[in-house]
């Protein structure tokens, strides 16, 4: 069984279009075990019930932004080892640096190509 058959991914973005683009790309890579959430709070609740290996999160969201979500994941023993990729239209150095301090594994700037997303994911989890 390959990694793509086993990996569980949470996609977090307040924009349904962005969630759709990411989940379509994951589907194209053969990844079927994907959950989605509209914000960090909903994502945390879902991950508590059904753990994941990787979170792909937007930065700018209501309720709880991507870096706040990352902070909560890293502060919780059960989720501190979850892979985390930040996807943002605002890849400013300050945001990236803060994410790295919090334990972000990788980031991707919007808009992105499917190949860029795949490379970003593979840099975190290994070859799909």
Summarised one tens digit per residue, pLDDT across range 21-55 is 999 999 999 999 999 999 999 999 999 999 999 99
Beta strands across the sheet bearing 34-37:
34-37, 9-12, 54-58, 83-88, 106-109
State the residue for tokens 């279009």. Answer: 17
Strands 34-37 and 54-58: unpaired
Extract the residue ranges of the chain whose pLDDT is less than 70.
91
- Check residue 78 and give its pLDDT: 94
**Separation between Cα atoms, residue 120 and residue 128, nearest integer Å:** 11
What CATH number should be reported for the domain whose range is 3-125? 3.40.50.2300
- Check residue 2 and give its pLDDT: 87
Residues 6+ apart with CB under 8 A from 88: 58, 59, 60, 66, 95, 107, 108, 109, 110
**Separation between Cα atoms, residue 70 and residue 76, nearest integer Å:** 10
Domains of the chain, residue spans: 3-125
- Check residue 16 and give its pLDDT: 96
- Check residue 82 and give its pLDDT: 97
């Amino acid at each position: 069984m390959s990694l793509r058959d086993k990996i569980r991914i949470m996609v977090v973005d307040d924009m349904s279009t962005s969630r759709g683009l990411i989940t379509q790309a994951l589907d194209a890579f053969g990844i079927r075990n994907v959950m989605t959430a509209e914000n960090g709070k909903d994502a945390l609740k879902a991950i508590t019930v059904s753990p994941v290996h990787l979170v792909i999160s937007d930065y700018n969201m209501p309720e709880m932004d991507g870096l706040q979500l990352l902070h909560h994941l890293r502060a919780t023993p059960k989720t501190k080892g979850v892979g985390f990729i930040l996807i943002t239209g605002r890849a400013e150095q300050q945001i990236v640096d803060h994410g790295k301090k919090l334990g972000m594994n990788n980031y991707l700037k919007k808009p992105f190509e499917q190949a860029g997303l795949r490379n970003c994911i593979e840099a975190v989890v290994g070859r799909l």
